[in-house]
Chain A
Amino acid sequence: MRADNPSSQAAFAQAAAYLERQPLVSNHRPLSWITQHVCQIVEERAPKWWWILTIVFGGMATLVPAMLTYLVSTGVGVWGLNVPVCWAWDITNFVFWIGIGHAGTLISAILFLTRQKWRTSINRSAEAMTIFAVICAGIFPAFHVGRVWMAWFLAPIPNANAIWQNFRSPLLWDVFAVSTYFTVSLIFWYLGLIPDLASLRDRATTRLRQMVYGLLALGWRGSNRHWTHYEKTYLILAGISTPLVLSVHSVVSFDFATSIVPGWHTTIFPPYFVAGAIFGGFAMVLTLLIPFREIYHLHDLVTDKHIDNMCKIILLTGSLVGYAYSMEFFIAWYSGNPFEIYAFTNRAFGPYWWAYWAMITCNVAAPQLFWFKYCRQNPWVVLAIVMFPNTGMWFERFVIIVTSIHRDFLPSSWGYFSPTWVDITLFIGTIGLFVFLFLLFVRFLPIINMFEVKGITPQADPHTDDTNGTHHHSLSTHSHGASQVHA
């Protein structure tokens, strides 16, 4: 009787509308619209802003070879690190960049395995970001070895000394972890690009584009005899990338955790580093995606819901990181070890107090704003807030590395690290390199994974009544048409 009441019917309708899932592609866009809208970014003439930004960031990127040349020709003394702070900005920057990469793999692999369909609009750019971040990261340890021309000693190649690598060293594990991570990320990214490169090939209007995209697409023709193997390959790569991404930052944390330095020697490091990496990486994904979404009008593909989801992940991982910070303090106190207690007191109230509190403000306090829906729904507010994790995660690595070693066990070996202009310029150079590579990516490759986005539209579901585009989803429609087979 109550259901017949018109007002409660209206309430039901309202509730149903509220509970209805927001579509992942807004405005019922047809498939060809997706192809056109994404390919057009690559096909139209390069806009003026692109040239300006590319020249500016490309110029910044040249600081990297310039500073490295200066470093190698003069000596490692041009960096500010010295006893007792032998790991400083270089390793901070290395961990910072490698951490940023992790969000890309998380989106492409873990969200794939957990069937989070919203990942399809953002995975391409996030994976590209991963690759570029790992390139930036690799520069630092390679030159941190001091004599970079001997960096090949890290590879197990027979050499004149007849001596091999120490496979018990976490630093060597790191070499294997990071190079595997880079290679597998590159393969995964390229694999995902193949069908989209075929789209670009088929739309190419110049011979050069046909040749380049044609070669890169490997002759992909969308055959279902290929899709079946392709999907399996993608699943397996996602499956192996998931433990890989968790292992990489764990191995990076072993560089610290296996030492006996108070402040480094903690078992919480692997999960804490992984959570921090995802936290900082998602912040960087949003930093890159929000401007390009505006510039290229990608609102129907990267919807407010996507941004909302990413903000929630930042909120979660930011809180996890906050928990790790407090747990470190608790364990330091609980251990009763005076050196351990001192390392942490010194971290918060010693000469580097400003770095510690910058880290707490940026990583723990700022993301709490994402509890408010308003902050998650307004892209410009989001962009402003994610600048805090971007900065804070750099400070986190600086705090962990420098504050733990600047006061050694004996006060006679205490020191204070300050960066030199070469340290600072090299870091700025890698920021330039990162953005420069991303600008090239936006210009020459499809920024959105077209075939996956098409695959999640209502019209891609073969059980959809495509005349009105509605999605009749129930368990029975998803049983591979088994009913027809038995009929």
Chain B
Amino acid sequence: MSQPTSSLFGLGAEFSSAGALLEAAKKIHSLGFRKWDVYSPFPIHGMDHAMGFQRSRVSLFSLIGGCTGLSVAFILIYYTSAINYPLIVQGKPYFALEPSLPIFFELTILLTAFGTVLGLLLLTLLPRLHHPVFNWDRFQRATDDGFFLVLESTDPRFDTTSSRQLLQGIGGLYITEIFQDPEETPNPVRPETSS
């Protein structure tokens, strides 16, 4: 068996409410921790600010998607109607802005949606089906009614003893060491479920 600390992912604590978690997050952020996260069944108002996040960059991907969509629509219509096979229909010009607008609009929207979702997946590194936090048995409640905070061991300020005291001091409950390897975690998770 390898040394337990070598595969230690972090230290998890549960909090009693969204408000308690928000206060704890403010404290951890003010202490300068970088590798940590909170987990909740719904987004908590003010949490982004408490954790010191900047504005999400998803909108950049939306913009890129939208610009691509508009360009694709323009090239598609202009190339096919005015260059590749110019065809007079009802005496109308080969290319005009007005009849092109609906398709410009629709393709812009379509590729904005694609860009946005792609951006979300890239920024969140999802899909990722396995994660050490899932090795903690109480963590299942993160999608039900549990509020969790996890300090990761890779953070330079992390120390098993002092971080535990810190979490206790700010109201953390059920403080547990979370391991990379499910075998090492007490109460192995993804419990082999029986009906």
CA distance A59 to B121 in the complex (A): 39
B157 at the interface (CB under 8 A from A): no
B170 at the interface (CB under 8 A from A): no
B107 at the interface (CB under 8 A from A): yes
Q: Is the CB of A228 within 8 A of B48?
A: yes
B145 contacts across to A, CB distance below 8 A = 30-32, 35, 454
Interface segment, B1-9, B18-26, B161-169, B174-182?
Answer: B18-26
CA distance A141 to B72 in the complex (A): 25
Digit string of A443-466 for contact with B (CB within 8 Å is 1, else 0)?
Answer: 000000011101100011111101
Residue from the list B19, B58, B102, B120 in contact with A176, Cβ < 8 A: B102
Q: Using CB atoms, name the residue of chain A closest to B43.
A: A227
CA distance A198 to B58 in the complex (A): 22
**Contacts A177-B106, A227-B40 known; A219 to B140 CB distance under 8 Å?**
no
Q: Is the CB of B193 within 8 A of A228?
A: no
Q: Is the CB of B59 within 8 A of A236?
A: yes
CB distance from A31 to the nearest CB of B (A): 4
Q: Is the CB of B109 within 8 A of A243?
A: yes
CA distance A163 to B62 in the complex (A): 33
Q: Is the CB of A233 within 8 A of B102?
A: no
**Chain A at the B interface: SS class:** helix
CA distance A170 to B90 in the complex (A): 14
B100 at the interface (CB under 8 A from A): yes
Q: Using CB atoms, name the residue of chain B closest to A176.
A: B106
A69 at the interface (CB under 8 A from B): no
Q: Using CB atoms, name the residue of chain B closest to A35.
A: B144
Q: Is the CB of A168 within 8 A of B44?
A: no
Chain A: interface residue count, which band?
35 or more
CB distance from B145 to the nearest CB of A (A): 4
Considering the complex, which residues of chain A in the window 206-244 have a beta carbon less than 8 Å from any beta carbon of chain B? 206, 210, 214-215, 218-233, 236-237, 240, 243-244
CA distance A452 to B43 in the complex (A): 9
A17 at the interface (CB under 8 A from B): no
CA distance A220 to B57 in the complex (A): 19
Digit string of B5-40 for contact with A (CB within 8 Å is 1, else 0)?
Answer: 000000000001111011001100000000001111
Q: Is the CB of B43 within 8 A of A230?
A: yes
B49 contacts across to A, CB distance below 8 A = 480-481
Considering the complex, which residues of chain A in the window 142-189 have a beta carbon less than 8 Å from any beta carbon of chain B? 156, 162-168, 170, 172-173, 176-177, 180, 183-184, 187-188
Q: Is the CB of A462 within 8 A of B22?
A: yes
B53 contacts across to A, CB distance below 8 A = 225, 228
Q: Is the CB of A191 within 8 A of B117?
A: yes
CB distance from A85 to the nearest CB of B (A): 24
Q: Using CB atoms, name the residue of chain A closest to B56.
A: A232
Q: Using CB atoms, name the residue of chain B closest to A231.
A: B43
B142 at the interface (CB under 8 A from A): yes
CA distance A463 to B46 in the complex (A): 10
CB distance from A458 to the nearest CB of B (A): 10
B90 contacts across to A, CB distance below 8 A = 168
Q: Using CB atoms, name the residue of chain B closest to A467.
A: B17
A294 at the interface (CB under 8 A from B): no
**Contacts A156-B76, A224-B48, A460-B42 known; A219 to B113 CB distance under 8 Å?**
no
Q: Is the CB of B80 within 8 A of A176?
A: no
**Contacts A167-B100, A454-B42 known; A162 to B85 CB distance under 8 Å?**
yes
Q: Is the CB of B195 within 8 A of A187?
A: no
CA distance A35 to B41 in the complex (A): 10
Q: Is the CB of A224 within 8 A of B44?
A: yes
Q: Is the CB of A463 within 8 A of B19?
A: yes
A172 contacts across to B, CB distance below 8 A = 103
Q: Is the CB of A173 within 8 A of B144?
A: no
B134 at the interface (CB under 8 A from A): yes
CB distance from A131 to the nearest CB of B (A): 14
Most buried by A among B40, B42, B110: B42
CA distance A244 to B42 in the complex (A): 27
Q: Is the CB of A195 within 8 A of B143?
A: yes
What are 11 sample pairs from A and B whose C-beta atoms fall under 8 A apart? A35-B41, A164-B84, A184-B110, A214-B129, A221-B143, A222-B39, A223-B37, A223-B124, A224-B44, A461-B18, A466-B18
Chain B interface (Cβ within 8 Å of chain A)? 16-19, 21-22, 25-26, 37-51, 53, 55-59, 62, 76-77, 80-81, 84-85, 87, 89-90, 92, 96, 99-100, 102-103, 105-107, 109-110, 112-114, 116-117, 119-121, 123-124, 126-131, 133-134, 139-145, 190, 193-195
- Top 6 closest pairs, chain A to chain B, by CB: A31-B145, A218-B127, A164-B80, A232-B56, A455-B42, A227-B43
**Given A35-B144, A177-B102, list of 20 further CB < 8 A pairs?**
A31-B144, A35-B145, A167-B103, A203-B140, A204-B193, A218-B121, A221-B39, A221-B142, A236-B58, A236-B116, A244-B106, A451-B42, A452-B42, A454-B145, A455-B43, A462-B21, A462-B44, A466-B16, A466-B19, A480-B46
